[in-house]
Structure 1
Amino acid sequence: MKKQLLVLMILATLMSCSNDDDNQSQILEMRVNHFQNTGPRLVPVLTYLVQEGDNIGTDNWTKFYSTIDGFNYQPGTIYTLSVKAEPIDNPPDDASSIKYTLLEIQSTQEVDNETLFKIDLKMEKIL
């Protein structure tokens, strides 16, 4: 009886110590636009323009300030990606709290060289 109780206690301890990091990560479908835009930081930076979730296929694009590990962006191409998003423990103050890693390029769409688009060139004041 003591051995069975000991085995149950060891199993319970091992199960409670399991790593939940995989449960915190998410797989996202993300669309990346064919051009980058500027975004305010301490100095202006180039950002991806992305769509996620219900915004995919709409005219709504969001500035994306992070990088995507393994993604080799080429202007002039719209990408549909499968991306793993994982929380980062103790990220730097000026960095994202999420690490994005490319899992798969699901599709690419070349954009005509004559396609017009707007880039923000004015500096926004950050308070």
Structure 2
Amino acid sequence: MKKLAILLLLALAACSNDDSADEERVNMIIDHHYEMGVGVGPVPVLRVQEGDQIASNQFQIFYGGITGFNFEPGFVYELEVLKRNVENPPADAPSIEYILVNEVSKMPVPANTTFEMKIKDFGTEFVISETDGTYNFLSFIPLDCQQRCNELEQAIQNNSQVVGVFEHDGNGGVVLIDIL
């Protein structure tokens, strides 16, 4: 009888739900600007560093969100996040869920910091000319093309790939500095 009880306890222990194996805490660096990506359609995505990439110049494109995190362009973030495996995710969803544990730091970038973003990539246009004459990245990020709006339109019409050099405008938008 003792052997049966021990076997029963071992069987129950084997069936216990140990979630700690399916999750880990990691540090992430979130870059100060979005990148344009293509999922089901064009989308703004975060640029992140994790693990050995931290403190390098290499960023990965991050299509998933971080639950509890509100990104504000113009700041570099260091985050502590819980990285959790998702059982049986839908076909178009990530298999890993990220949950904010702690915003370790939020540092503004200098006002004159320039960065590159895709304007058009193999036929996918990320810049939208609105009916009121303004420009936006995916109707989401305001774009001030200054005196280069015609040049921007021509580059989009005549090239399969267009990259721009930008600065932050301080209000969540970007200012076009150059077209590459």
Normalising by the residue count of structure 1, what TM-score does the alignment of the two structures yield? Answer: 0.89
Q: Structure 1, residues 44-81: CA drift from partner, whole Å, max 9, x if none?
A: 11000001111111111111000000111111110111
Q: How many residues align?
A: 124
Moved over 3 A (4+): none
Residue 122 (str. 1) matches residue 120 (str. 2) = yes
Q: Residue 42 and residue 125 in structure 1: after superposition, are their counterparts in 2 closer, same or farther (change >3 A)?
A: farther
2:44 to 43, 46, 51: 46
Instruction: State how far apart, in whole Å, the 1-side matches of 2:110 and 2:63 are.
Output: 26
Gap change, CA 1:24 and 1:125, over 3 Å in 2:
farther
Superposition TM-score, scaled by structure 2 size: 0.64
Structure 2 residue corresponding to 1:20, chosen from 18, 21, 42: 18
Shift of 1:112: 1.8
The equivalent of 2:91 in structure 1 is: 93
Structure 1 stretches lacking a partner, 5+ long: none
Aligned letter for 2:114?
Answer: L
Identity of aligned residues (%): 35
SS in 1 for 2:17: coil
More strand as a share of residues: 2
Contact 1:44 1:123 in 2 (8 A): no
1:113 CA drift (Å): 2.3
Alpha-carbon shift at residue 120 of structure 1 (Å): 1.0
Question: Gapped runs of 5+ residues in structure 2?
Answer: 125-180
Q: 1:29 to 1:124 in 2, by over 3 A?
A: farther
Higher relative contact order, structure no. (Cα contacts within 8 Å, ≥ 6 residues apart) = 1
**Which residue in 2 is equivalent to 1:33?**
31
Query: Tell me, what secondary structure is at the counterpart of 1:34?
Result: coil
Structure of greater Rg: 2
RMSD, matched Cα: 1.6
Q: What residue number does 2:154 align with?
A: none
Bigger shift: residues 62-71 or 4-13: 4-13
Tell me how far apart the structure 2 counterparts of residues 70 and 59 of structure 1 sit (CA, whole Å): 26
> What is aligned with 1:110?
108
